[in-house]
Amino acid sequence: MIEEQTIIEEWERVRAPEAPKLEEIKISLKKTALLVLDIQKNNCNNERRPRCVKSLDKIQMIVEKARKAEIPVIFTLTSAASKADFRREVLPSREETIIKASVNKFYKTELEEILKKKKIKTIIMVGTSANGAVLHTAAGAVTRDFEVIVPVDGISATYPYEEQYSVWHLINSPGTRRKVVITKAELIRFI
C-alpha cells in the first residue's frame, strides 16, 4: 500500500510538459461552425472566474470573424441558465442557435443534428470551464467525427492548471489527439 506522504512527494516532483506549438489555421467556410460555450454572467465574472473575463476580447474577436465569414455561430448555456444570463460582450443574434445543456453540449441535445444538417465537419470551440464544457464537448465532438479547433486564448477556467491540463488532454488523449488542433484567436483564418 502506497502511503499518502509518498503520493504527495511524487506529485510535487511532476513537471508540466512544454507548451504546444500554436500555428496558423486555415479553415473552410462551408464546413465550419463556432461554438461559444457558457459565457454567462454568473460564471464569467471577476469574483468567480476572472480568467474568463480576460478571455472575452479574444472570444469577441473570433465571434466577429465567424459572423463576418458567415459561418454558423452556436451559443450554449448551462442547464440552469437563461438567455438573460449571457455576457453582453458575446450576445447571440436573433438568428443564432442557443443550446442549453450540462457539461457535454452534445448529450441529450439537438447539437449534433444541427451541425450535420449544415454539413459541418470542423468546430471551433471557445468558452469557459475549460476542464468542463470545453473538454467534454470537444471529446463529444470527436466521437461524432468532427474535427475540433481550440484557440487557447479563447478558453478559460478558474485556475491556469485546469486550462493547461484540458489542452494537454485534448492533444494527447488517445480519443482526441488526432482530431483536435490547438491555436490562438489571431491565427485563425477563414478561406
Query: pTM of the full predicted structure?
Result: 0.93
How far apart are the C-alpha atoms of 70 and 95, rounded to whole Å? 12
How far apart are the C-alpha atoms of 112 and 107, rounded to whole Å? 9
- pLDDT tens track, the chain, 191 positions: 567 778 788 878 888 888 888 989 888 888 999 999 999 999 999 999 999 999 999 999 999 999 999 999 999 999 999 999 999 999 999 999 999 999 999 999 999 999 999 999 999 999 999 999 999 999 999 999 999 999 999 999 999 999 999 999 999 999 999 999 999 999 999 88
Give the fold, CATH level 3, of 22-190: Rossmann fold (3.40.50)
How far apart are the C-alpha atoms of 75 and 36, rounded to whole Å? 5
pLDDT value of residue 2: 63
